[in-house]
Structure 1
Amino acid sequence: MRIQKYRPSFTVFILDSQSVRLEKVFRAFKKSGYFTQEFLNSESFFEEAKENPPHIVFLEQDTLVVLGEDFIEDVNKLLPEIHIIIYADQHELFSTSHLIRRGVYDCVAYNEENLDFLIRAADRAAECDYYLYMNEQLKLRSIKSDEEVKPSEMPLFEIWLDQLNEKRSLKEVIDSFLAEMARHMAKKEIIYFKYIPSHQSLVASQSVVLEIEKVRGLGIELTKEEKNFSIDLLRSPMKLKGLERLINKALKVEKYIALPLVVQGIPEGIFVILDIDKSAFNDTYIKSCLKALALKVSQINLIKKLHSVSVHDDKTRVLNRENFIETLKKEISRSRRITLPVTLVLIVIDNADEIEEALNQYEQDMLLKMCATILRRHSRTNDLIGRLEKFSFGIVLPHTGKLGGAIKAERMRR
């Protein structure tokens, strides 16, 4: 997502005892769009935080040394949902990584010539908050949707909602919905066709009453079957002629109902109920269940995105610095335990200053994505790739000695 447009909604506090550096960081964040306040000492910081709690706190490493690491716990006690980000000079950065275990969200390098990496760290933290907020909104909407169910059906609906909320994967929630539909509709055969955006196809992936092996893989390529296909056509699946032909010919069924699964405005699939007259179908219970399902799927998607944001670099989709370092520590510990070598390869893109001058931000991002793609393509399944700084990557090579690591590094360089 593009968190930039939401930056003014987030408050950033910057605590740095060095006034010149503080002013540079403050101006960079003000320019980026974040609502920003600056503090030279902890007293004024806490006084303002009690009145106007921030979402994100940037704390300079030398300032933290003076305040003591207990300062982090004091901030977390006062503001338990806050994101604390430490910034430090490059050569001191590794020594700050242990602070993650004390409640710090991230540790990033300070470069007075380019503060973009600090702003990116704030974007990741803001994105986490955004997804958590959206998750809470989905819960509220789910509660409101309960009001559409008839009073006589409410007890069964509430039982099913409790079961649905216990599910954690997309497959589980789809299966739960299929089972509830089959119960409600006297064991009708129902198929779920998943939409595959990359192929613009519908593929049967789950079913109830009807054995899935009889229909698994059954599907249609929408661009071939539908004239001028667009994803919006999936909102009205009864109009899909290709789907109608598939059900008529492959399943030998004439009457059916097709219901779209639309999640946050985007169609994700279609439920097909077989042997039912569409003119007689007006089931508010099923429609209410479908709304609840869409909210639950949206919640699962948000949780996945939230996890991805906290683990992966937002531009390259490789591990972010924090998780790469934690993974490296675990791999070194494992290497010592099983007495097999492990190698760390550091890769830095040449001429970084010239690249920044010659390319705009979008072009720089595309370059980084291409580099990450090359690293992935030339790595083994168990190799671990992470982005350490703006133009540098790291690769952990388990079970690989110095010679193997040197060969790998040279291959990557070429």
Structure 2
Amino acid sequence: MNIRDHSSQFTIYVFTTDVDQGASVKVYLSQAGYDAYFFQDPEALETRLKENPPHILVFSTAALGGSLSDFVTHVQGINDEIRFIAITAISQFDILAQYNSFGFVDVISDEAAALETRVVWSVDRACEKLYLSYQNEQLFDDLQTVKQQVDEVHKAAVTSMKAAAAAEKLETVSFATKIGQYRSAHSKEDLIQRFLNNISGSMCIFFKFLPSVRSFVATHGNGVEGSQIQGVGCQLEADDVKDLNGQLSVGLLPARFNAMLVEAFHFNPPKGLPLYGAQNLEGVFVYSGSLEKGAATQLNEEFALFSLCYSHLALEKKVDALEVQDFVTELHNRNYYVKILADEVSRSRRLKQPVSVVKIAMDDFYEIESSLGEAVRDELLKSVATVIAKTSRSNDQSCRTAANEMAMILPHCSKKGAALRAERLRRIIEGTSFLDKGMKVSISLGISEYPSLCDSAKSLDESATKALSHIVDKGGNKICLYKAPETHRPDFEVPVE
């Protein structure tokens, strides 16, 4: 995420008796888009804390008239949701470490060099965590709301359909059965096809929206052969995308898209039903506006039920993703790594193909943390993780497995190929400048491979870790290939490359 897109939603207070320092930090935060205020007077600060509590209070310990514990306790007594970032001398860091459970998110050295930039970095990381926490809470609430809406629609529809069936003696498909059909779908694509299968007597086509290329591409259809929609799509102009959601919400389609539908499918006029998942436009169902009233009503009623089930599935998928993703690097987390590594080793054993693991650690990790703070450390970790992800193959798995450890699982890759990949990654990181100041970092890498160097998923992980620890102890910025014991016998032979 880019916190600049959301920084205006956060209020930051700066409290220090150093006028130059406070004013300068406030200006930097305001330029970064935050709603920032500077206070020199403790009474003025307390008044504002009571009237409009901030999300984060950046304060200098030198400005405190009393003890730190009294200040923190007093502020939390006003509002316990306020988070703290302290500016203090390095000699005070150990003391402030005792306040982790009191809402402290960072401690910054009071050295004058680049102080304002370091404060902005720290505030950025803290606000990213707050934003994602709020987002996850909202995601959970949305999921519960959708479940409730589905249940309410279910009850209302069952009542309505029973009444209609009794009055007209019609045989109707059980509403509960339809919900069961939708909820049993294994994927979004499966759910879309089930919706189209439930529509009778009308041609309807689903166009997936690809925001990166501003295009609608046909992927599913009812009442039309698959060969007729294969490769059919429309790229929009930049201006078309600006108010796309607004247009779709009132039933309008972009002019270029509309013209293509008339020419290719003779929809006259084309009508669209936009599909959203977790608040993002995922596509649009298109049908002819010349449908008879009964058929159009049936289509729209079916879509209302389908869209609720689709939103429910999209939110469940997003919640599942949060359980396997590392917060800082946005790579998979340790739990996912352990599971997928066992799966890959089992697959390797079945297919008689090697699988390698490369463990990666950032050199001078704890020195960077102690001198520049957790915010800079996390930013560097995220930058390194981004390089790892961009240089990986589509079937590779990248995970964060410890505080200063990331891992690449490389299917169908021998120890030689893994060593080449590791050295290439090391050189890319060594030659890349990170952060706005052009900071350089280096990495150490430990490599192991099943079956040539170990005999299980556990030993594959442990041997890669041993190789990494060995090269870190030797000074780092190198790769190390694990050496198998003489007694090791591979489960199968890997062809020599």
What's the CA shift string for 1:122-174, capped at 9, x where partnerless?
Answer: 99999888756643432211121235644356853343222222222111211
Question: Which of the residues 225, 242, 254 maps onto 2:256?
Answer: 242
Deviation at 1:395, TM superposition (A): 2.8
Question: Which of the residues 177, 202, 210 maps onto 1:159?
Answer: 177
1:111: which partner in 2? none
Structure 1 residue 267 corresponds to structure 2 residue 275: no
Structure 1 residue 211 corresponds to structure 2 residue 225: yes
Tell me the matched-pair count: 308
Structure 1's 205 and 24: CA in aligned 2 closer, same or farther, altered over 3 A? same
Deviation at 1:411, TM superposition (A): 2.5
1:146: which partner in 2? 154
Alignment partner of 2:220: what SS? strand
Aligned letter for 1:318? L
2:333: which partner in 1? 320
Structure 1 residue 295 corresponds to structure 2 residue 313: no
Q: Within 1, Cα distance between the matches of 2:394 and 2:233?
A: 31
Aligned letter for 1:238? L
Q: Within 2, Cα distance between the matches of 1:213 and 1:200?
A: 23
Q: Within 1, Cα distance between the matches of 2:408 and 2:207?
A: 39
What's the CA shift string for 1:175-229, capped at 9, x where partnerless?
Answer: 122222x32xxx1111112211222221211110111321233222222683854
Structure 1's 396 and 190: CA in aligned 2 closer, same or farther, altered over 3 A? closer
Q: Within 2, Cα distance between the matches of 1:133 and 1:232?
A: 25
2:192: which partner in 1? 174
Question: Retained in 1: the 8 A contact 2:334–2:399?
Answer: yes
Matches within 5 A, 1:216-365: 216-223=230-237, 226=240, 228-274=242-288, 276=290, 285-328=298-341, 343-353=356-366, 355-356=368-369, 357-358=371-372, 361=375, 364-365=377-378
1:371: which partner in 2? 384
Q: Within 1, Cα distance between the matches of 2:273 and 2:343?
A: 48
Alignment partner of 1:203: what SS? strand
Structure 1's 254 and 371: CA in aligned 2 closer, same or farther, altered over 3 A? same
Q: Within 2, Cα distance between the matches of 1:227 and 1:272?
A: 18
Structure 1's 216 and 330: CA in aligned 2 closer, same or farther, altered over 3 A? closer
1:197: which partner in 2? 211
Structure 1's 276 and 25: CA in aligned 2 closer, same or farther, altered over 3 A? farther
Matches within 5 A, 1:391-406: 391-397=404-410, 405-406=418-419
Question: Retained in 2: the 8 A contact 1:344–1:396?
Answer: yes
What's the CA shift string for 1:18-45, capped at 9, x where partnerless?
Answer: xxxxx99994244169xxxxxxxxxxxx
Aligned letter for 1:142? V
Q: Within 2, Cα distance between the matches of 1:239 and 1:342?
A: 49
Range that drifts further, 292-301 or 121-130: 121-130
Structure 1's 239 and 378: CA in aligned 2 closer, same or farther, altered over 3 A? closer
Question: Retained in 1: the 8 A contact 2:276–2:311?
Answer: no
> Greater RCO between the two (CA within 8 Å, min separation 6)?
1
1:45: which partner in 2? none
Q: Within 2, Cα distance between the matches of 1:124 and 1:388?
A: 21
Question: Which of the residues 143, 165, 174 maps onto 1:135?
Answer: 143
Q: Within 2, Cα distance between the matches of 1:375 and 1:334?
A: 24
TM-score (norm 2): 0.51
Matches within 5 A, 1:12-31: 27-31=99-103
Deviation at 1:275, TM superposition (A): 5.7
Question: Retained in 2: the 8 A contact 1:234–1:260?
Answer: yes
Aligned letter for 1:221? Q
Structure 2: give runs of 5+ residues left out of the alignment: 4-9, 11-54, 56-79, 82-94, 106-127, 166-171, 428-497
Deviation at 1:302, TM superposition (A): 2.1
TM-score (norm 1): 0.59
Question: Retained in 2: the 8 A contact 1:261–1:290?
Answer: no
Alignment partner of 1:205: what SS? strand
Question: Retained in 2: the 8 A contact 1:203–1:219?
Answer: yes
Aligned-residue CA RMSD in angstroms?
4.4
Alignment partner of 1:257: what SS? strand
Matches within 5 A, 1:74-113: none
Q: Within 2, Cα distance between the matches of 1:161 and 1:335?
A: 40
Q: Within 1, Cα distance between the matches of 2:298 and 2:98?
A: 54
Structure 1: give runs of 5+ residues left out of the alignment: 10-22, 34-119
